[in-house]
Amino acid sequence: MKTVKDLLVEIRNASELVIDLAYSSVLYDAEDIAEEVLELEAKFYELLNELRTIAALSVRRIEDAKKMSAILQIANASQKMSSAAGDKSALVLRGYKLPKDIVKLILNRSEETIIKINVPENSQIAGKTLGEVKFQKVTGMRVIAIKRDLEWIFDANRDTRIMKGDVLFVRGDPNMVPRVYEFVLGEKRELETAVELEIPELDKAVDTLIEMKNLSELAVDLAYSSLIYGNEDVAFEVVYLESLVDNLKFELEKLVLFTSKKLSDPSTLIPILELAHSSEQIADAAREIAEVLLKKMELPSIFKDAMKRANEVLTIFTVCENSHLQGKTLGEARVETNTGMHVIAVKRRGEWITRPTASTRIFAGDVLIAKGPREGEKELANICATVTKQVP
């Protein structure tokens, strides 16, 4: 029988995976990925039922019940994310497609994009595992799924072997796309460019949709970070982000109504509305996770232990005086390239920078929240630490 810790690890990994896969299914109109998302959603119910059973069997005292209540609230919030992902994929299975020009815009303007790339026979990574080639550290992007002939691999990890002919679905910073192509294909290639849409309201609606997606997923990462580190400041930022996503949803709905008057077939806008609703649900779930801390609910130590075993780690570091980062932008310091860690937020003198970019300059005293591969955590710690000067 699985332990609570095992189930928490599975729920954490699966919730992140199902969100990524659902988004991929919509962007690439992939029915097979959409069907897998719905299967993962069903798996969520099984995991939750198993967790509830173990929780009921393990409670002996009121104190134990209170701790388990916090665990169940986190699990239920994760289920809400899974349901939101299922709603996205249902769009594909019902035949609702995003217009290609909108897909291009999303891929180009998103803070994190998803690309599809075939592994050629002469690729340097063919026949090797993701860990052996240090895929995420080298490229700054993460393989979220692999299609091999008619089979799918949805739980790719460092031990997963890449074979020639594989189709990789890779997620990460759009600026790193040329590096991925060069690493996999051995040739330089840019992400396909997109132009502004002819209808200004629709163009703005797409930007708003991207903003909602970015903020909702950021809220999830910050919510888990707040619990792992017991940081109420981070938890309150999640509450703010959830409120912001709600406001953006109303703005997007207004823009879509304006746009519908100018289209011969307004039904093409349905996916935009559904994606916005999904992002709102994910942000709501993030708030529920953060509220575990804000409501002073006690978490058992197994939660933090479980989060350390997740596929990607969430970590917080303070930038020290005379560190390699002091006074440099994230791009100049090549943080993501050198460590594989993606800085998702920066706190500076009580203020939050929730969407740092390559041009964001870092100073001593800044608090960085980052996520990425386990092996990159130590390297990020090193570049945040004070550089010891050699005494001649």
Looking at residue 224, its pLDDT comes to: 94
Q: Where in the chain is the domain with CATH 1.20.58.220?
A: 4-97+196-306
Look up tokens 């990890």; give the residue: 157
Superfamily designation of domain 4-97+196-306: Phosphate transport system protein phou homolog 2; domain 2 (1.20.58.220)
Tell me the C-alpha distance between 287 and 294, whole Å.
10
pLDDT reading at 12 higher than 90:
no
| CB-based contacts of 190, cutoff 8 Å, min separation 6 | 177, 178
3-state secondary structure of 23: helix
pLDDT reading at 392 higher than 70:
no
Tokens of 388: 């010891």
Q: For residue 53, how far is the Cα from the chain centroid?
A: 29
pLDDT band at 391 (very low <50, low <70, confident <90, very high): very low
The CATH class, in words, for 105-185 is alpha beta
Give the model confidence (pLDDT) of 70-82 as tens digits: 888 998 999 999 9
Sheet strands side by side (includes 167-172): 113-118, 167-172, 141-148, 151-153
User: Which helix (H) or strand (E) element contains residue 293?
Assistant: helix 270-294
pLDDT band at 389 (very low <50, low <70, confident <90, very high): low
Q: Where in the chain is the domain with CATH 3.30.70.1450?
A: 105-185, 312-384
| CB-based contacts of 16, cutoff 8 Å, min separation 6 | 220, 311, 312
Give the model confidence (pLDDT) of 80-119 as tens digits: 999 999 999 999 999 998 888 888 888 778 777 788 899 9
Looking at residue 269, its pLDDT comes to: 92
In degrees and rounded to multiples of 5, residue 170 shows phi and psi of: -120, 135
Give the model confidence (pLDDT) of 284-340 as tens digits: 999 999 999 999 998 888 888 888 888 788 999 999 988 999 999 998 998 887 888
The fold adopted by the segment(s) 312-384 is: Alpha-Beta Plaits (3.30.70)
Looking at residue 106, its pLDDT comes to: 84
From residue 72, give the alpha-carbon distance in Å to each of 56, 109, 260, 279.
Answer: 11, 36, 42, 22
**What number of helices (H) and strands (E) belong to the chain?**
13, 8
Looking at residue 279, its pLDDT comes to: 94
Tokens of 75: 């699990």
